[in-house]
Structure 1
Amino acid sequence: MHESLDEIERFVIIRVKEIREGKGLSQVSLSLAIGKSTTFISDIEAPSKRAKYNIKHLNEIAKILECSPKDFWPDKPL
């Protein structure tokens, strides 16, 4: 079960990063736009860190990226 959790977490992190980069936003800009420290997004996107998004973060990120929070999730369970 733990491996599935890691896989879904990786999927969401990659999707947020892809959408963020597609919109031309830096990690720092997105972090500040959602009211977090300048390293919040970089800590999440770094493979060695264990920082995590929660539902509230994903909703706030979706507002900034002008997309739906469901855009971060896979179409089917992983």
Structure 2
Amino acid sequence: MRLERKISQVALSQSLGMSSSFVSHVESVKRRAKYNVNHLNEIAKIFNCSPKDFWPDLPI
């Protein structure tokens, strides 16, 4: 979604009020950083979508 909207990792991190490397850490498979429910809610506001868009329809 971030790439489709052409939003950089730094720009999204700053919009969330986090360090400029936060989103890159979340997106890296080598890091343990993950979004929490509050992050997802804020990202949904930025992307003008529902937080449900980030959850699977069926349990994993």
Q: Say which structure, 1 or 2, has more relative contact order (CA 8 Å, 6+ apart).
A: 1
Gaps of at least 5 residues in structure 2 are none
Which residue of structure 2 lines up, in the alignment, with residue 7 of structure 1?
Answer: none
Which residue of structure 2 lines up, in the alignment, with residue 68 of structure 1?
Answer: 50
> Aligned partners of 1:51 and 1:73: how far apart in 2?
18
Please provide the CA RMSD for this pair: 0.6
> Aligned partners of 1:20 and 1:29: how far apart in 2?
10
**Any idea what the Cα deviations from partners look like across 1:14-69, whole Å, max 9, x if unmatched?**
xxxxx111111010000000100000100000000000111111100111111111
**2:36 matched to 1:54?**
yes
Count of residues paired in the alignment: 60
TM-score, normalised via structure 2 length:
0.95
Identity of aligned residues (%): 57
From the two aligned structures, give the one with the greater helix fraction: 1
> Aligned partners of 2:3 and 2:47: how far apart in 1?
10
